[in-house]
Amino acid sequence: MAQGQQNRVDYDECDRHVDYSLCMSDVIVIGGGLAGLAASVALAQAGVKVTLLESRPRLGGRASSFEDAATGELIDNCQHVAMGCCTNFRHFCRVTGLAPFFRDEEQLTFVGPPDPSGRQPPEFCRFAATPFISAPFHLGRALWGLGYLSLRDKFAIARGLFSLRMAKPLTNDRTSFAEWLGRQRQPTNAIEYFWNVVLVSALSESLDRISLAAGRKVFVDGFLTNREGWKVSLPTVPLDELYSGTLSQWLAAHDVEVRLKTGVERLVMDDGAISSVELRNGERLAARQFVLAVTQQRALSLLPESIRTTPQLAAIERLETAPIASVHLWFDRPITLLPHAVLVGRLSQWVFNRSRGEGRGARGENASMPVPRSSPLAPRPFYYQVVISNAREMAERPQSDVVADVVAELKAIWPWAADAKLLHSRVIVEHHAVFSPLPRSEELRPPQQSPIENLQLAGDWTRTGWPATMEGAVRSGFLAAENVLTKIGRPAKWLQPDLQ
């Protein structure tokens, strides 16, 4: 018997408003993205009977894959990256058996900006922690090694990082990061080639649209607190294999009923409490507790009219969003054997090598080394994903132009790939990829406990202290589950501590 069944919560009575014949589960979770999945996992581990409703045919929400018709390959909507400081996402992966499908990178490669004259090749800079040096100094040598930054830039960056670390955690997020950089008298190149590079990839916004609090968090949690915080963790299989595959099996083994292609039309309220959900097909499902884990754009439309207008919930509408684009490229030969690279001062921001073999051969090799034509990978198509965050401008351009520019950038960086033939390409723009961490946006994010006692909100947009990330989504799910568990008399701690 599954663990969940052994510990099933035995309610004395359902709400008097709930039709007993419909009372099929203790908790209904709406939305099968990471927030809904995390809530379901935490509840199921406590023996609570969960029904998870997801409108799409697969789990994972914004972190998911689809089949590319031309290649027949399962490709991710966009490369998703976690960091060492994502303690809750990592815990979620450990609990559910997903952890072996991620690999931690011990080093990154930064490719310096293009030489304006076009004569010099770009600089490849290895970025890794110095062994045995503790935080916050572990990345000092790596910063020093970014040869495309001047001495003045590096000292200014070190000074800026020091001042971020010394500042108290900011509750007041009225200042933009751009304003703060101005006050810090950071040089233009330091802004363009360091602060901008890190924050645009992490938060997908321009520096004037990032609050100082959100920007500070990225640097303090990721780079300054713990030696492990900065490490990038990458899935080694398509996201769908993680969430619709391994995780689905975990949920089934823990007695979670997952209903895909099951869109919720609205939450039904009776006498001040949610009594059931009405599905798009008209069916009604009742439960004692509800977790609404859809995006902020959808959440309001599912809620009863009477509570949509409460100040706490109405504020959600003012959360703005930012787009992220991914350019998927299949070549007839390798462009690089590097597993990934950060491209500085270009339209393309990150390139990920998603070819089978995933660039593992490049470890320890000189990053700028040409790829031999006789590479054992050569007969296979070589698949690369280029990620462009804060993609507002490029989202307006014809996709063929974007592909041409990105391919030209890659060939300029790796000139021996000049003859590589592009076999197939695809551009995916997620227009509402993440909420924008604008100054004052924190006050628009509601806590997980909604104004209705038996309704929890979850999603990266709820109040987690984190930006829109897989970590933020998992945190929100854990917090919502903790609230439910307390209410049903089975309190349990799910939220994991930050790295110290």
Chain centroid offset of residue 312 CA: 25
Position among 61, 187, 215, 222 found at the interface with ligand FAD (CB under 6 A): 61
Q: Does the footprint of ligand FAD cover residue 35 (CB under 6 A)?
A: yes
Q: Does the footprint of ligand FAD cover residue 394 (CB under 6 A)?
A: no
Do 248 and 258 contact (CB within 8 A), yes or no? yes
Closest to 239 (Cα-Cα) out of 414, 472, 62: 62
Q: Does the footprint of ligand FAD cover residue 473 (CB under 6 A)?
A: yes
Do 350 and 201 contact (CB within 8 A), yes or no? yes
The minimum distance between CB 181 and ligand FAD, in angstroms, equals 24
Would you say 108 or 190 has its CB closer to ligand FAD?
108
Beta strands (DSSP E) in 193-293 are 232-235, 257-259, 264-270, 273-279, 284-292
Residue that is written with structure tokens 């509408």 in the block: 317
The minimum distance between CB 153 and ligand FAD, in angstroms, equals 27
Using CB atoms within 10 Å of the CB of residue 398, give its burial: 0 to 12 exposed, 13 to 18 middle, 19+ buried: exposed
Binding to ligand FAD (CB under 6 A) within 272-331 occurs at 293-295, 298, 302, 324
Would you say 149 or 234 has its CB closer to ligand FAD?
234
Binding to ligand FAD (CB under 6 A) within 213-272 occurs at 263-264
Binding to ligand FAD (CB under 6 A) within 110-129 occurs at none
Treating both helix axes as pointing N-terminal to C-terminal, what angle do 34-45 and 87-96 enclose, rounded to 10 degrees? 60
Q: Does the footprint of ligand FAD cover residue 388 (CB under 6 A)?
A: no
Q: Is the dihedral of CA 185, 190, 191, 196 positive or negative?
A: negative
Would you say 220 or 264 has its CB closer to ligand FAD?
264
Would you say 36 or 160 has its CB closer to ligand FAD?
36
Would you say 91 or 333 has its CB closer to ligand FAD?
91
The secondary structure element, H or E, covering residue 350 is strand 350-353
Joined together, the tokens standing for residue 47 give 């023996």
With CB under 6 A as the contact rule, which of the stretches 54-62, 191-199, 367-375, 448-456 interacts with ligand FAD? 54-62
Would you say 82 or 347 has its CB closer to ligand FAD?
82
Distance CA 190, CA 195 (A): 7
Position among 53, 191, 199, 342 found at the interface with ligand FAD (CB under 6 A): 53
Closest to 38 (Cα-Cα) out of 443, 466, 341, 405: 466
Q: Does the footprint of ligand FAD cover residue 63 (CB under 6 A)?
A: yes
Would you say 220 or 302 has its CB closer to ligand FAD?
302
With CB under 6 A as the contact rule, which of the stretches 102-110, 130-138, 163-171, 464-472 interacts with ligand FAD? 464-472
Residue type, 277: V
With CB under 6 A as the contact rule, which of the stretches 1-9, 31-39, 168-176, 367-375 interacts with ligand FAD? 31-39
Q: Does the footprint of ligand FAD cover residue 437 (CB under 6 A)?
A: no
Count of residues touching ligand FAD (by CB under 6 A): 38
The secondary structure element, H or E, covering residue 422 is strand 422-435
Would you say 33 or 122 has its CB closer to ligand FAD?
33
Q: Does the footprint of ligand FAD cover residue 56 (CB under 6 A)?
A: yes
Closest to 448 (Cα-Cα) out of 425, 415, 475: 475
The minimum distance between CB 81 and ligand FAD, in angstroms, equals 4
Would you say 220 or 470 has its CB closer to ligand FAD?
470
CA angle, residues 89, 94, 95, in degrees to nearest 5: 100
Distance CA 415, CA 395 (A): 27
Residue that is written with structure tokens 């309190």 in the block: 491
Would you say 28 or 377 has its CB closer to ligand FAD?
28
With CB under 6 A as the contact rule, which of the stretches 24-32, 41-49, 238-246, 306-314 interacts with ligand FAD? 24-32
DSSP assigned state of 130: P
The minimum distance between CB 371 and ligand FAD, in angstroms, equals 26
Distance CA 485, CA 462 (A): 19
With CB under 6 A as the contact rule, which of the stretches 158-166, 242-250, 332-340, 462-470 interacts with ligand FAD? 462-470
Buried b (16+ CB within 10 A) or exposed e, 443-482: ebbbebbbebebbbbbbbbbbbebbbbbbbbbbbbbbbbb
Position among 28, 247, 452, 470 found at the interface with ligand FAD (CB under 6 A): 470
Give residues in contact with ligand FAD (CB under 6 A): 30-36, 53-56, 61-63, 77-78, 80-82, 263-264, 293-295, 298, 302, 324, 430, 433-434, 459-460, 468-473
